[in-house]
Amino acid sequence: MAPLHAALPPPSSAAAHHHAAAPPVFLARSPYHPRRAAASCPLAVAAAPSSRKAFLSCPLLGHWTTAAPPRAIPSSSSSSTPALIASVQDLYDFICCGPLVDRIGYTSEKITESIDRWLLAGARVARLFRLNELQLSDAEKARIYHFYIPVFLWCEDEVMVHRARYNDGDDIPPLIGVSAPQGSGKTTLVFALDYLFRVAGRNSATLSIDDFYLTAKEQNELRDRNPANALLEFRGNAGSHDLQLSVETLESLIKLTKEGMKMKVPRYDKSAFGGRGDRADPSVWPEVEGPLEVVLFEGWMLGFKPLPNEVVKEVDPQLEVVNKNLEAYSDAWDRFIQSWIVIKIREPGSVYQWRLQAEVAMRADGKPGMSDEEVMDFVSRYLPAYHAYLPTLYKEGPNGSNPDHLLVIDIDENRNPICGGSWDISCL
C-alpha cells in the first residue's frame, strides 16, 4: 500500500507574521472520537480495521513557536527501524468520515479526485505544528483532516470563485471573515490557513479585530464616559475599537494588487499597562507586500447584528450602549467580507473553560497568568454579548452574509468539529 510520504519545505517564518506570540494549544487534552463524531454524517464509510497501527499517540504540543524546528519525519528507506505508516486507502476512509465533508460540498468521488491535495496539505500542516504525519494520534489526525484541511479547501474554492469575477490585472483579494468565540481555536485555524495559502503560492494577509482596539488613552476616555458600565471598562465590546483605522486598513489591503506595493498593518500589544493593553508602536507593525490573493480577518464578534433595545436590555441593561455602538460596525467591517466562516459553539460558558485552560497552561510554563477569579471577571464582560447576539448569528448568518458563501462549523466543548443539528441553540 502506498505510504504517505511528501517532500516538504520547513515552515516559513512569513507564516507566523500575524502575531509574535505562539498560537494557542493545538489540541485539547480530552480524547476525540472521530467515529462517534461522524456517526450521523451522510458520507461516513466503513471504519478501517481496529488493528491498524498507523497512527500512534504522540505527546501534545503545548505552545508552538516558529523558532523551534519541526520533528524529522522518518524515511522508510533510511531508518533502521521502519516507520509505522498508513495506506492512502485508510486515510481516504478517515477523510470521508469527516463532519465537514458534506458541508464543503465534497462527495467521495470528489475526495478521490483531489486526494493528492488532501495528502499534501495534511503533511504540510503536520510539519507546521512539528507533528510526524506518519504517527498521528486520532485527535491530531482529526484536527488536521476533519478540520483544517476541509476549511482550507473551502477557502481555496471561495478564492477561485471570487477571482473569476474580475479580469486579469483587476483582481481584488477576497476578504474571508472568521467569526468565533474566544478560545474556540480561530487564531490557530487562521494561522494554519495563512500558512497553507502561502505554501500553495497564494500571498495572504491576516488581521484580527483585536488589532483595531482603541489606544490605552482612548480606552480610558471611553471608560470615563461610561462610569457605570462594566462592559466598556476594558477593551472588547463594541465601542472599544477604532473603526476609522479599521476602514482605512481594510480599504488599503484590498488595493494591494500589484507587485511591489507595500503597507504596514496595525498590531495591538495586550501586555502593555499591566495587561490592560495599548496599540503597538507603528515601528513594530508588520509589513504586507502585494499582490495579495486573500485576506483572513478574524474576531469574536464579527457579523454580530444590532438588536432591538428591549431584547438586549433583557439580557443585560449595560448592553444598550454596546448595542448602539454596534450599528456602526457593519460599514466598518462586515461590508468588506465576501466569504464567512462561523465557528458555532453550544454553550457560551465554554469560553470561560477555554480561557481558564490557557491561563493555567501559562502559569504552568512560568509565565504570568490570570487567577481563576480574574478569568471569570474577564470573561464575564463578554458573556452578555454572546448570550444576546449568538442566537441571531447562528440563525440568520453574519451581517450581510450570502448563504452560498458561508461555512458554519459546529464544534464541541473540546473544540472539535461535529455534525450540525446535534444540539439546539435555544440553550444560549
Task: Give me the amino acid identity at 127.
Answer: R
Contact 375, 359 (CB under 8 A): yes
Please report, for residues 19, 197, 198, 354, 420, the alpha-carbon distance to residue 15 in angstroms, rounded to integers and kept in the order given.
Answer: 10, 9, 7, 25, 31
Sort residue 216 into left (φ over 0), alpha (ψ -120 to 50) or beta: alpha
| Interval 60-116: pLDDT, tens | 333 333 333 333 333 333 333 333 345 788 899 999 999 999 999 999 999 999 999
If you average pLDDT over residues 136-154, what whole number do you get? 94
The alpha carbon torsion through 249, 250, 252, 255 (nearest 10 deg) reads 160
Q: Nearest CA to 416 among 25, 23, 34? A: 34
Q: Residue 276 — very low, low, confident or very high, per pLDDT cuts 50/70/90?
A: confident
What mean pLDDT do residues 28-52 have?
35
Q: What pLDDT, on the 0 to 100 scale, is given for residue 400?
A: 83
Alpha-carbon gap, residue 229 to 223, rounded angstroms:
8
Q: Say whether pLDDT at 8 is over 70.
A: no
Contact 302, 178 (CB under 8 A): yes
Rounded Cα gap, residues 74 and 164, in angstroms? 41
Please report which confidence band the pLDDT of residue 274 belongs to, taking 50, 70 and 90 as the band edges: confident
Predicted confidence at residue 363, as pLDDT, reads 77
Q: Report angle CA 75, 77, 80 to the nearest 5 degrees.
A: 85
pLDDT the model gives residue 360 = 83
pLDDT tier at 169, thresholds 50, 70, 90:
low
What's the confidence (pLDDT) of residue 378?
Answer: 86
Q: Which three cell numbers stand for residue 377?
A: 471577571
Q: Where are the domains of the chain?
A: 13-22+29-427
Q: What is the predicted pLDDT for the residue at 82?
A: 34
What is the third-level CATH fold of 13-22+29-427?
Answer: Rossmann fold (3.40.50)
Of all residues in the chain, what percent carry a pLDDT higher than 90? 58
In the prediction, which pLDDT does 368 show? 72
pLDDT tens-digit readout, 365-398: 777 777 888 888 888 999 999 999 999 999 999 9
pLDDT tens for each residue of 131-144: 998 888 889 999 99
Task: Give residue 160's pLDDT.
Answer: 92
**pLDDT band with cut points at 50, 70 and 90 for residue 420:** low
Least confident of 122-131, 176-185, 372-381: 372-381
Tell me the three cell numbers of residue 177: 471573515
Report d(CA 38, CA 295) in Å as an integer: 31
Average pLDDT over residues 227-240: 95
Structure confidence at residue 370 (pLDDT)? 75
Interacting residues of 237 by C-beta distance below 8 A, sequence separation 6+: 231, 301, 322, 325, 381, 382, 385
State the pLDDT at residue 284.
95
**Range in 8-22, 227-241, 242-256 the model is least confident about:** 8-22
